[in-house]
Structure 1
């Protein structure tokens, strides 16, 4: 009797999310989509919408990104019980409020990272000290001091730290004009100077059992600084026994080292209001947040996406 060939099924890595902070602001929406078993992802460039299965057997892992996981902590036990595999990219910089006006105090975010690490493991939690923003009030000495303080608090709770220097997109430069009127100046720093600072940070991190990785800044890579793969099939393979060879590296921008994933977030929806943010274009983010529907299949129903493709 001829044996039938079973089609190969490759579960997706789901990014939650580069485009906005879902754990901080949209946890209810996300859990509603998990319980429904699917969500809509809308490509921000061609407006093509895609139905993304969120059933456990179709998700290789969730890669969560956030500056504040505290509101999301109550959902983690349910996700774990349902059998989902998860890793956490947790941005903690402790920058002054003038740069991160709505990000919680460092005490809140550090406690949340420690709680996630205890629930899973230090290998599940990747700390992001990102971006490094050099100004007249956050110069090199400031960052060396702040980074050392954070390393001390996070030692034993994570094994990796990802860094990058701020990218001054035109929309970011426009926001900085307001700071310049307050006497805060952005410092011009060469790539050589950036690499020297990164090496100092790597030495501090190593003292606390943390390895340093460079995200989208290849000029920093070398010596103790490794190239980052923020969505990292190799890491997922080591944590969850997945087959990394099933996935391809698919950069999202220049010098990005990420493996392929599907992102279910939407740009211009994060109310954190960080000066350096690439994902918000204007003042509409807070308005979008206030008017989002937690029961909608897409994070923000814009009404201008093309027809939805299936799984």
Structure 2
């Protein structure tokens, strides 16, 4: 199975010590975000965890722990955008994140590290031309250290509209211009552009629209084939293998204005205060009368080498 750490929060950036404590303990407890009284225990043994998927804007706090994770296959997505502190107030400088990205790639290999340039929005500061210019500069730095860059355009969820009211939808023509131009730039630097949950509209312009965290992504990182149980995707346009997420909403301290995972800053501050690195939960602890449900887990590796 695949353990995902990044759909609800940024564990490497803010909770790396907690995560390593859970690796040491061999299990983690996770509350269902839509039914908080339903608690699941997941074993973290390499015998059943085929890959740990990380998504982060700041991998630096986890770099010192990589040797302790050598028994686990890993796949990392690192988000690097052109946005400043006006949009991503607590994300480190891009130059620092890119250097940490290169360190990750050097330690794990290019097949285990992907770059995310998303979500893309356009305004008077972050113009179409600025996106194109900054993207090429980043490609120049990251060339040879990853094979893929995933793009997506901002979705106007209710949380996003509330926290970022002036943002607008990216028009179809703007999407095509970005997709086509990014694909051309990426080709020059050996980086395939993939679209995340954007349908197939950009496929004619050289963008890979088959998904970003796909079975092939993990098989290439692991080096063998996987037999993954069929599971209905969360969104019809998503082809990704999302696995089991051990994070929690309203816990990401980056406080990015476009974030869909934080309801508001007050919730984040409260939950971060409730975080205990020694707890089996990311936030809080087991309450009296609550029942823990053991997850059914098994390895998906079929033992055959992958030739991707």
Encode CA deviations 1:145-166: one digit per residue, 9 max, x unaligned. 1101110110000000000001
Question: Offset of 1:27 from its aligned partner?
Answer: 0.4
Residues 1:173 and 1:28: Cα distance change in structure 2 (over 3 Å): same
- Tell whether 2:153 aligns with 1:175: no
Unaligned runs of 5+ in 2: 296-308
Unaligned runs of 5+ in 1: 1-11, 181-185
- Give the one of 293, 300, 307 matched to 1:309: 293
Question: Offset of 1:250 from its aligned partner?
Answer: 4.2
Encode CA deviations 1:54-93: one digit per residue, 9 max, x unaligned. 011110100001000011100111101xx10001011000
- Tell whether 2:229 aligns with 1:241: no
Q: Is the 8 A contact 1:248 1:260 kept in 2?
A: no
- Tell whether 2:30 aligns with 1:41: yes
Question: Which residue in 2 is equivalent to 1:280?
Answer: 262
Question: Which residue in 1 is equivalent to 2:233?
Answer: 251
Question: Offset of 1:41 from its aligned partner?
Answer: 1.9
Encode CA deviations 1:235-290: one digit per residue, 9 max, x unaligned. 22233233323343542334111125110000000010100000000122133123
5 Å matches for 1:66-85? 66-80=56-70, 83-85=71-73
Give 3-state SS (helix, strand or coil) of 2:64's partner.
Answer: helix
Encode CA deviations 1:110-158: one digit per residue, 9 max, x unaligned. 0110000000111110100011111111110110011011101100000
- The whole-number CA distance in structure 2 between the counterparts of 1:267 and 1:132 is 22
Question: Offset of 1:231 from its aligned partner?
Answer: 2.9
- Tell whether 2:176 aligns with 1:195: yes
Question: Which residue in 1 is equivalent to 2:191?
Answer: 210
TM-score, normalised by the number of residues in structure 2? 0.89
- The whole-number CA distance in structure 2 between the counterparts of 1:79 and 1:189 is 39
- The whole-number CA distance in structure 2 between the counterparts of 1:302 and 1:282 is 22
- The whole-number CA distance in structure 1 between the counterparts of 2:173 and 2:128 is 14
- Give the one of 85, 88, 111 matched to 1:100: 88
- Tell whether 2:281 aligns with 1:298: yes
5 Å matches for 1:250-269? 250-269=232-251
Q: Is the 8 A contact 2:149 2:193 kept in 1?
A: yes
Question: Offset of 1:291 from its aligned partner?
Answer: 2.7
Question: Which residue in 1 is equivalent to 2:298?
Answer: none
- The whole-number CA distance in structure 1 between the counterparts of 2:189 and 2:252 is 32
Equivalent residues, number: 291
Question: Which residue in 2 is equivalent to 1:86?
Answer: 74
Residues 1:302 and 1:279: Cα distance change in structure 2 (over 3 Å): farther
TM-score, normalised by the number of residues in structure 1? 0.88
Residues 1:66 and 1:220: Cα distance change in structure 2 (over 3 Å): farther
